[in-house]
């Protein structure tokens, strides 16, 4: 396998540096303003996007790109804060639903405008519309290569 060309190396390092800087900044701002990590926010947002603000825990792990054990750890913290709850499916006791509580929805609705402002400030507004399209198309191709997306079980 050949080494990366200078242009490929620039792409790789740009991805690593840019994504880490943006994600760390978004995480820091959410924690400072709302006491939520970026992972917490993503969990709440994923649940809120589903009917009745509930979804299967296994689907949530897949959607949030987290292992089931990592999701359980994060979810337990959100349960203790009263932001989410677990509800057993009455027709299939093997299924557990993640449910957004009214308190969780309230916090999400409070945090969402700040989060969107941060995403705009630290990513979207720094790119031209053409760069945004190229980035979206490029990462769509990357994501397509993972079918299904990786979710390590560790």
pTM of this structure: 0.88
Domain edges within the chain = 13-144
Looking at residue 4, its pLDDT comes to 96
Looking at residue 146, its pLDDT comes to 81
Selected from 3.50.50.60, 2.30.110.10, 1.10.10.10, 1.10.3720.10, the CATH number assigned to the domain covering 13-144 reads 1.10.10.10
The continuous run of DSSP H or E covering 113 comes out as helix 102-122
Query: pLDDT tens per residue, the chain (154 residues)?
Result: 899 999 999 999 999 999 999 999 999 999 999 999 999 999 999 999 998 999 999 999 999 989 889 999 999 999 999 999 999 988 888 889 999 999 999 999 999 999 999 999 999 999 999 999 999 999 999 988 886 655 544 4
Strand pairing report for 54-56 and 84-88: unpaired
Residue 147 phi/psi, 5-degree rounding, is -130, 105
Place of tokens 């405008």: 113
- Report the candidate in 33, 26, 13 with the shortest Cα–Cα distance to residue 124: 26
Side by side, which strands form the sheet with 54-56? 54-56, 96-100, 84-88
């Amino acid at each position: 396998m050949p080494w990366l060309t200078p242009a490929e190396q620039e792409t790789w390092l740009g991805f690593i540096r840019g994504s880490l800087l943006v994600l760390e900044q978004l995480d820091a701002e959410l924690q400072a303003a709302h006491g939520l990590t970026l992972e917490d926010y993503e969990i709440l947002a994923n649940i809120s996007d589903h009917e009745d603000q509930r979804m299967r825990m296994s689907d949530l792990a897949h959607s949030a790109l987290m292992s089931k054990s990592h999701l359980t750890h994060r979810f337990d913290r959100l349960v203790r804060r009263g932001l989410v709850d677990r509800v057993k499916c009455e027709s299939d006791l093997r299924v557990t639903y993640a449910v957004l509580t009214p308190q969780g929805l309230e916090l999400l609705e409070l945090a969402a405008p700040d989060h969107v402002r941060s995403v705009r400030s630290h990513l979207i507004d720094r790119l031209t519309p053409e760069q945004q399209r190229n980035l979206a198309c490029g990462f769509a191709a990357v994501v397509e290569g993972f079918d299904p997306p990786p979710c390590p079980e560790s």
